[in-house]
């Protein structure tokens, strides 16, 4: 979190937010990358997550639009950590800081289960992959009938905001070229809409064969196939296997994910043929995000990843051959 934001995020802000939702908050934070997250408890003893979003990260209308969409899919049976209203019956409450900026406070269900681990074969298997696909399929099916909102960005706006900061001319040019190619894809109700956009294995909990997705902060208008590309991409990005091992794994994973997805929604074969485009663009995006986050002081693991990303970007190769 930026130092300027950290400076104005006081214990008083946390207390005000907790009071607005009628919960008691643990002192230890659950997370603090783009939002501050706290474990909270209601008067009846139910566990919740209390989130604080600074106004430099999202506008009020953007947070409200995120929670409206989340509530919509939750009410229709999606496996998500649903939002809860405040004591004043609002999904979003405003907490003013000493410098005149704001934190937008919201409350969520505490998802059942825990994060999955790639090296745990008792969990990282076809049962998970099928449920992962089914979960995405249901979210996409529900999104098709969701009323349009102007308060969530499009994929192009989001990507341009990131790529504009890239200093390397060749990487920048490649990113712009990929955006140009994706822009030419048709926008159709059955394959484009408001999506989570980041359902990798750190953004859901898993228990007894059921996924519960959280963190809709990056929800945007994008192609449905993007969500499937994210599954494949982040299943591999830190794996140091050979190209052949990665290809064999990914083709199998995709086959199982598709079967789960098709239980809830159908995507034409032509969309799966675009997966390399979306995975290549993710390389460019992740490259830009890591360099911005760490500036010129990359930790060893991040430096190794940035090097691999750069090589693939310059070679115009996706992370895996599907």
Per-residue pLDDT of the chain (322 residues; tens, 9 = 90+): 577 788 889 889 999 999 999 999 998 899 877 899 999 999 999 999 999 999 999 999 999 999 999 999 999 999 999 999 999 999 999 999 989 999 999 999 999 999 999 999 999 999 999 999 999 999 999 999 999 999 999 999 999 999 999 999 999 999 999 999 999 999 999 999 999 999 999 999 999 999 999 999 999 999 999 999 999 999 999 998 899 999 999 999 999 999 999 999 999 999 999 999 999 999 999 999 999 888 778 899 899 999 999 999 999 999 999 9
> Which DSSP helix (H) or strand (E) runs through 188?
none
User: Residue 287 burial by CB count (10 A; 0-12/13-18/19+): exposed, middle or buried?
Assistant: buried
State how far the Cα of 271 lies from the Cα of 275, in Å rounded to an integer.
Answer: 7
State the residue for tokens 């484009």. 192
Distances in Å between the Cα of 73 and the Cα atoms of 43, 58, 140, 143 are: 27, 21, 10, 8
Distances in Å between the Cα of 153 and the Cα atoms of 90, 162, 188, 221, 289 are: 23, 13, 17, 6, 18
Contacts of 267 (CB under 8 A, 6+ apart): 190, 191, 224, 225, 228, 261
State how far the Cα of 69 lies from the Cα of 219, in Å rounded to an integer.
Answer: 9
What is the model's pTM?
0.95
Query: Residue 32 CB: number of other CB atoms within 10 A?
Result: 14
DSSP character for 318?
-
Q: Which domains does the chain have, with CATH numbers?
A: 3-109 (3.30.200.20), 126-315 (3.90.1200.10)
């Amino acid at each position: 979190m930026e130092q300027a934001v950290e400076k104005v995020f006081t214990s008083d802000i946390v207390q005000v937010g907790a009071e607005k939702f009628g919960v008691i908050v643990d002192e230890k934070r659950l997370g603090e990358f783009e939002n501050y997250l706290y474990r909270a408890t209601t008067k009846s003893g139910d566990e919740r997550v209390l989130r604080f979003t600074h106004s430099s990260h999202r506008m009020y209308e953007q947070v409200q639009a995120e929670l409206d969409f989340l509530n919509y899919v939750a009410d229709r049976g999606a496996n998500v950590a649903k939002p809860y209203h405040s004591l004043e019956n609002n999904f979003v409450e405003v907490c003013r800081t000493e410098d005149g900026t704001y934190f937008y406070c919201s409350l969520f269900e505490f998802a059942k289960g825990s994060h999955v681990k790639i090296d745990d074969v008792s969990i990282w298997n076809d049962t998970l992959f099928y449920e992962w696909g089914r979960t995405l399929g249901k979210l996409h099916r529900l999104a098709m009938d969701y009323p349009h909102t102007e308060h969530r960005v499009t994929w192009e706006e989001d990507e341009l905001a990131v790529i504009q900061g890239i200093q390397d001319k060749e990487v920048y040019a490649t990113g712009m070229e990929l955006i140009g190619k994706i822009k030419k894809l048709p926008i159709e109700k059955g394959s484009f809409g408001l999506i989570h956009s980041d359902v990798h294995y750190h953004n859901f909990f898993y228990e007894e064969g059921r996924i519960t997705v959280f963190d809709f902060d990056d929800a945007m208008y994008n192609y449905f196939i993007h969500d499937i590309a994210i599954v494949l991409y982040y299943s591999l990005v830190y794996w140091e296997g050979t190209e052949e091992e990665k290809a064999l794994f990914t083709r199998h994973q995709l086959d199982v994910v598709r079967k789960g997805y098709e239980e809830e929604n159908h995507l034409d074969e032509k969309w799966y043929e675009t997966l390399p485009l979306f995975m290549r663009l993710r390389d460019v995006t992740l490259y830009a995000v890591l360099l911005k986050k760490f500036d010129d002081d990359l930790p060893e693991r991040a430096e190794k990843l940035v090097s691999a990303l750069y090589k693939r970007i310059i070679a115009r190769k996706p992370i895996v051959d599907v």
